[in-house]
Amino acid sequence: NYYPIESGWGQSIAIRDFILKIKKVTGSRSHISFGSLPMRTGEIMDSFADLSLIPKFLKWRPSVTIDEALELMRNHYSQQTEF
């Protein structure tokens, strides 16, 4: 059987806020122009992971916030590659 299992931290986040968090943690100086293009049909503005299947199959639960997770990923990848 196939069960789609989402991962996340169990709280909703606006895509715009997530992008700004990534920009901040990476130290990017990129200019992001929100709203410069028309919104496309089906485009999401908010993301939420349904964690209801995780305990049943994985015996796991989120233990860090989104900010902590982004820092951990940045630290991991900065050791793997040069920015």
Q: What is the pLDDT tens value at each position of the chain, 83 positions in all?
A: 888 888 887 788 999 999 999 999 999 999 999 989 998 999 888 888 888 888 888 888 888 888 999 999 999 988 876 65
Considering the entire predicted model, what is its pTM? 0.74
Q: φ, ψ for residue 34 (rounded to 5)?
A: -70, 135
pLDDT of 83:
52
- Distance between CA 58 and CA 3 in Å, rounded? 12
Size of the chain, expressed as the number of residues it contains:
83
Q: Which class for 38: exposed (0-12), middle (13-18), buried (19 or more C-beta within 10 A)?
A: exposed
